[in-house]
Amino acid sequence: MEGSETIIFDSHCHLDRFPKETKVRELIERAETTGVKYFFVPGVTGFPARIGELAEFPQIITGWGVHPGYTEDFHENCCEEMAIALKASVCRAIGECGLDRRFRVKFEKQLAAFQWQIDLARESGLPLVLHLVGHYDVALKMLKQAGPKLKFVLHSFCGSYEVASQFLELDAYISFSGSIFKKNHDDIDRILNLVPENRLLIETDSPDQKPDFCPGKLNEPINLPEIARRLAAVRGISFEELCSVTLKNCRILFMP
């Protein structure tokens, strides 16, 4: 908390990927009524879309990344140009990037783009935001090879207890979304209690991953407090303490 006010940080939301008629300002204003005051917006095809609109809000932090679902169009001969542009930007993280077994994009394409972004994060000193669905053993090997100085977060974690344990051995941050309402309670509760306090983040991944309790067709950052309450209840701490812990972790990761 800051003073008597509870501040919540949405560590992963795509404010740039809502329908065009949805104004970023409206999303932020709605979220702020529930205490959500900071937002990390990753890139999926490079820089986020609507970057000019996002730049109007100092509470929004942006990343640059190529999502595994878009790596078919990733051209390695453009990497040097991308790296130069990235260093000249206000980008605070690399991602979201990673591997996903569900996509038709060839694994070799996903792997090349992921490795390049790991290298870019390591060289720039920026944290890496990971999208991983399957291929956990491959990702673990790549991250181990990158060395201990690389900071990274597993966004919207949906893996097993064993997978979480392996990534935590590499000092991973782990972020939880509304998906925690959908998994088997015993399994997810074990995972929610496994993550150390100083490695815990929360997110909406909006406009995707809308929890069943949310009204409307799309997920929004305004729903983050319910995710925080669920996580706080499982860990046996207050809502305010959970928000304070995750805010601190986000600041360390994205705002050093």
Q: Does residue 76 belong to any structural domain of this protein?
A: yes
Q: Does residue 2 belong to any structural domain of this protein?
A: no
pLDDT given for residue 1 in this prediction: 41
Q: What is the mean pLDDT of residues 103-125?
A: 92
Q: Does residue 3 belong to any structural domain of this protein?
A: no
Number of domains the chain is built from: 1
Question: What is the tens place of the pLDDT at every residue in 202-221?
Answer: 999 999 998 888 878 899 99
Q: Does residue 159 belong to any structural domain of this protein?
A: yes
pLDDT given for residue 117 in this prediction: 93
Question: What is the tens place of the pLDDT at every residue in 154-203?
Answer: 999 989 999 999 999 999 999 999 999 876 666 889 999 999 999 999 99
What is the token pair recorded at 113?
């783009």
**Among 22, 34, 24, residue whose Cα is nearest residue 217:** 22
Q: For the chain, how many residues are written?
A: 256
- Domain around 78: 8-254
In this structure, the dihedral spanned by the alpha carbons of residues 206, 209, 213 and 216, taken in order and rounded to 10 degrees, is 60
Orientation angle between helical segments 79-87 and 107-124, nearest 10 degrees: 40
What CATH number does residue 121 fall under? 3.20.20.140
Q: What is the mean pLDDT of residues 92-101?
A: 95
pLDDT at residue 76 is higher than 90: no
Q: Does residue 1 belong to any structural domain of this protein?
A: no
What is the token pair recorded at 26?
């409206």
Q: Does residue 237 belong to any structural domain of this protein?
A: yes
User: Contact, 135 vs 115, CB < 8 A?
Assistant: no
* Own/partner long-range contacts of 211-214 (Cβ < 8 Å, ≥24 apart): 211/178, 211/181, 211/182, 212/181, 212/182, 213/181, 214/178
